[in-house]
Structure 1
Amino acid sequence: MKVSNIEKEYWDALERLKSGKSKIVDTRSTRFKFTKDAVGREAGRGKGYVRHQRYPELCLAISDAETCRQQNSPATPSATAKIEQQKALKNKARDDYSRLKDEYDLLMIEYLNVVRRNFELETGLVDSTNVNLIRLPNAR
C-alpha cells in the first residue's frame, strides 16, 4: 500500500513522540498522552486531521503507543498514601525543628556565659566572691 507524504509526516511525528524528541508537543509533561490530536500537532497540522477513516493503521499505532505508555508509567499513589506521606514529612520536619531548637538553646546558653565571663573579666568582677558562674556540661 502506498503511503502519502502527509501520512508519512504523521508516522514520523508519532516516532518523534515515542522517542521523546518531539519538536512541538511537550512529551515530558505529566499530562502528555498519545492521542491523534497530539500526533497531528506534532506533524504541524491542526486537531482533527488524523481520523480512523483516513489512517486506520496510524490510529491503531497511536492507541498501542498509549497503552504502552500507561503500562510503563509509574503507579500514582492513592490519596490516602499521599496524605500519609505528607504526615510523615510533617512529623520529620517537626522533629528536626525541635532538635535544632534544643541545639540552638544550648549554644545560646554557652554564648551568654562567654559574654558574661568577658564582661566580668573586663570589669574585674571575677575576683569578687559573691559572683557564681553557671557551668553547663558541654552537650556537643
Structure 2
Amino acid sequence: MSTLRGEALYTAALKRLEKGEAEIVDTSSPSFHFSTTTVAIEAGKKKGFIRASRYPKLCKQIEEAEAARKLKQLEHPKKKNNNSVTRIKKLSEKHDNLTAEHELCLEKMLNLIKVNYELKKEIEYLKSNISQPNFSKN
C-alpha cells in the first residue's frame, strides 16, 4: 500500500510528541495522552483527520505510544505530581516577581507624575513673576 501524502506529516508530529518536543500540544500537561486527535493537532490539522481506515499503521503506532506512556506512568507515578508541584512553584515565583516589578513600576510612575506636577507649578510661578517688557516709546 502506498503512503498517503499526509502520513509523513502525522508521523513527524507523532515523533515530536514522543520526544516531548511538541510545537503545538503541551506534552507536560497532566491531561496529555497520545491519541489520533493530539497527533492531528500537533500536525496542524483538526481532530478527526486521522482515521484507522486511512492510516492503520499510524493508528497502531499511536496506540503503542499511548501504551508506553501509560506503562511509564505506572512505573513513576510520583513524577507526574512532582512536575505539577514544581510547575506551580515556578509559576508562583514568577507571579511574585512580576508583582514586585509591577509595584516598582507603579512607584516610578507616581514619582514621575509628582515631578511633572511640580514642574508645571514652577513654570506657572515663573511665568507670573516675569516682568513684562516695556516696548512703548518714551
Give the TM-score band, short-chain normalised. 0.5 to 0.7
Alignment of 1:70-89 (within 5 A): 70-73=70-73, 74-75=76-77
Residues 22-50 of structure 1: CA deviation (Å, up to 9, x unaligned): 10000011110000000000000000010
Matched positions, count: 76
Equivalent-residue separation in structure 2 for 1:5 and 1:19 (angstroms): 23
Letter in 2 for 1:59: C
The answer to whether the aligner puts 1:8 opposite 2:8 as a matched pair is yes
The answer to whether the aligner puts 1:22 opposite 2:27 as a matched pair is no
Give 2:52's aligned residue. Answer: 52
Structure having the larger proportion of residues in helix: 2
Give 1:42's aligned residue. Answer: 42
SS in 1 for 2:70: helix
Where structure 2 has 5 or more consecutive residues not aligned to the other structure, the ranges are 79-138
The answer to whether the aligner puts 1:32 opposite 2:32 as a matched pair is yes
Q: What TM-score do the two structures reach when normalised by structure 2?
A: 0.53
SS in 2 for 1:64: helix
Letter in 1 for 2:39: V
Equivalent-residue separation in structure 1 for 2:36 and 2:72 (angstroms): 20
Identical pairs, percent: 41
Instruction: Name the larger-Rg structure.
Output: 1
